[in-house]
Amino acid sequence: MVTVTFSGRREGRAPLTWGQRLMWRAVHLMGDSQTFLSCPWVLPVYGRRDLGSVLHALRVLLERHESLRTTFAPTPEGPVQRVGRGGELTVDLVEAGEERALRVAERVAGELGRTAFVHDRDLPLRCAVVLKNGRPTALALAFSHLAVDFQALNTLSEEWKALLRGEKLPPAEWQPMDQAAAEREEPYPARSAKSVRYWHSVLADGPLDVFDHPPHEAEDPRFIEVGMESVALAVAAERLAERWTMRTTNVLLAACATVLAVASGRPRAVMQLVHSNRRDARTRAMVGTVEQDGLFVLDLPDTDFAAACRASQRGALRAYRNAHYDPFEMQAMREEIGRRRGQEPDLDAFFNDRRTSGTWPGLPPVGRDEDVAPLTEKTRTYVTNAWPGVRFKAFFTVVSAPDTGKLSLIVDTAYLPSGIAEAMLRGVEALLVRALTEDVPMSAVPEVCGIGHYTGRPD
């Protein structure tokens, strides 16, 4: 175990940014399950570096980015972020032994994230250096989501590479305290009001629940994560995106939303879409939490899945344009709708694409004229426990993996049994693979996907 001592340029106290406010509410709603919001991350050590140079690069990151030396606390005026100028970070040293160092680092990062952060006292990151024969090979980290989002993690990764190359980085000019101050001045309040109006227009008369059927007896554990690893999914998504001139995210979002609509027995899917919110040039290199949820709506067309993808693209753009808002104002609007309608709208359906580039750079070679369908024989699905306090009814995540399409679905088994959840993932794959070779009419989607309207009653 070693200690990294750091001293930044400034200290201070400020209200939370809108992104931090969203995470603050989520942390407190999840209670003991807030570790779902921890962000494990691995920074490989490039080249033959000694421990001193690795710890120096870590210290530079701590001193550059105020979010990494910030604690968060409630006050009578609302939650605040408190940036410390200096301090110490304890770093564990872990010897990889005979195992692959990066695999050990991934495991250690996951373990570091399984303990909840005490946000008014702890630094928002934990760290270990993984050694191979005494030489550092990777940094294993776990961050609080109050301090970083996935775009921020990518920024840290790029800076880490530069620091290990010996480069001198320009100052990090825009910090979360600056963002919090900016959000109190125009045009941010007007932008928030516009987003709240858009959400209100969807929620005021929309369905109050994700599913019409009441909860049934849940499985044990109640909340599970079903995962799928599918090269066929990735190849099909890339080919369809190229054919229809859109991002693979839009293709995957359309397929997931279509499958959710079929399972819920509705012609419309309403989901929260996690968005990076980095349109402002000042925030693009900021290490902090900027991402928020957009409200995505897909009305299934009468024609075919290609039309659904185009409609999904338009719906995603609307969601992105209305995904920057004061979460406290948004929650007040939802509570007002709840008082008027007797129940707040249930928005426990999500889609999140965690990939950095929207591609899979390490996919095995597949000829452009090669039939993708046989690749589905190698698709693997699996079930793991989820967190008891996550409260998601359906949460699709495109997981970052370079060599395979990795899609997961967290479900509340009181509404969607594990077998139905697995069928939904397989249905996404089947829909994309079939769309490569033929126009899929929307009327044929249930048959192609192998799922139908799930009513909660046994057949």
**pLDDT-derived band at 388, boundaries 50, 70, 90:** confident
Of the options 3.40.50.10860, 3.30.70.920, 3.30.2020.30, 3.30.559.30, the CATH number for the domain spanning 201-449: 3.30.559.30
Q: Is 254 or 385 the better-scoring residue by pLDDT?
A: 254
Judge: domain 2-182, CATH 3.30.559.10.
Answer: yes
SS3 breakdown of the chain: % helix, strand, coil, rounded to 5? Answer: 40, 20, 35
Query: Of all residues in the chain, what percent carry a pLDDT higher than 70?
Result: 99
Q: Which residues pair with 13 in a beta bridge?
A: 82
Dist CA 438 CA 231 (whole Å):
20
Is residue 117 pLDDT above 70, yes or no?
yes
Question: How many beta carbons lie within 10 A of that of residue 72, not counting itself?
Answer: 23
Average pLDDT, the chain: 95
Q: Whole-prediction pTM value?
A: 0.95
The predicted model gives 339-352 an average pLDDT of 96
Digit-coded pLDDT (tens) for 87-112: 999 999 999 998 999 999 999 999 99
Domain 2-182 and domain 201-449, same fold? Reply is yes
Dist CA 431 CA 306 (whole Å):
11
Structural domain spans, the chain: 2-182, 201-449
Q: Which residue has tokens 């200290």?
A: 11
Check residue 306 and give its pLDDT.
Answer: 98
Check residue 457 and give its pLDDT.
Answer: 67
Digit-coded pLDDT (tens) for 259-317: 999 999 999 999 999 999 998 899 999 999 999 999 999 999 999 999 999 999 999 99
Say if CB 327 and CB 28 are below 8 A apart: no
